[in-house]
Homo-oligomer: A and B are copies of this chain.
């Protein structure tokens, strides 16, 4: 393992000259550059990232932070798709990706990342009420972008969908189909994403004169099993829902399994809408109507914003909303054309 000194010795220059060649400084003659480059080549030199990081105080990597309580998120297709977006732009910008894993304690985990100077910026997932991670990040004014909506506006840069609106439209779709008993299947109620989608859901019910009931609003873990159990609850209700808005496709799949086991036929006995539009939504039985949130783009946009923040270190709070759209398939049955608002017409698959 050769160091910059070895290269310097071989090329008959000082270490700083090698360093300058490495960063392609214009103040070095082509002649010496060439000589140094040959030495670099000959020794197959690669810089020690830590030594460089120590002096420049940069890590050339960005961290992706999943709250320890949300590890199930790891196996959600949303995560992979989003990560492919993150990876794409991070790679292009020359950043590696560090996944925070260790530490039970999330404060610890984020401290390791930020204060340990392990990363130059953070992509934050799983926005919650009173998120301690957001506090930390704000405290150190560390470059970070939230994938989701912060509880308090202006607290941090973020990239998000308009979840209230999306849930509203999805619910309206159900209502226009004639449903009046509609259930909501969400993740933890302290997650902002759950809150927003629930808000849109309730708004649609309210505007349509349908009374909402707490029993119809289920919270569960973000797993297929969560959807399954939640759906079992809903179907056991004295007056069961005839339609369900699931806050995640994986939840929707669980719900479909529960319904199937109990002998309900989709879409005749029951309508289900999911969220995210993961690749397999189309392949479900029946193909799942779902809100396409453009996961890859979400990850890419967040990373782009983050890279921007890292480079021009004072950019203030930015935000971006990525459009979403309801992709109508077969899990809710057909609407009569005259029931559809015009904007829906061209979206039917």
Contact = CB atoms under 8 A, between A and B. Distances in A.
A286 to B, nearest CB: 8
Q: For the complex formed by this chain, how many copies does it contain in all? A: 2
A279 B75 contact: yes
17 contacts: A48-B54, A50-B117, A50-B118, A54-B54, A75-B279, A83-B99, A92-B102, A95-B101, A96-B100, A96-B101, A96-B102, A97-B98, A97-B101, A224-B279, A253-B283, A285-B285, A285-B286
Interface string A101-123: 11100000001100111100000
A302 to B, nearest CB: 15
A-B interface, 6 closest residue pairs, ranked by CB to CB distance from nearest: A285-B285, A46-B115, A91-B101, A97-B99, A49-B116, A50-B53
A157 interface: no
Contacts of A224: 279, 283
Contacts of A112: 46, 49, 96
Contacts of A44: 115
Nearest to A77: B77
A84 interface: yes
A220 interface: no
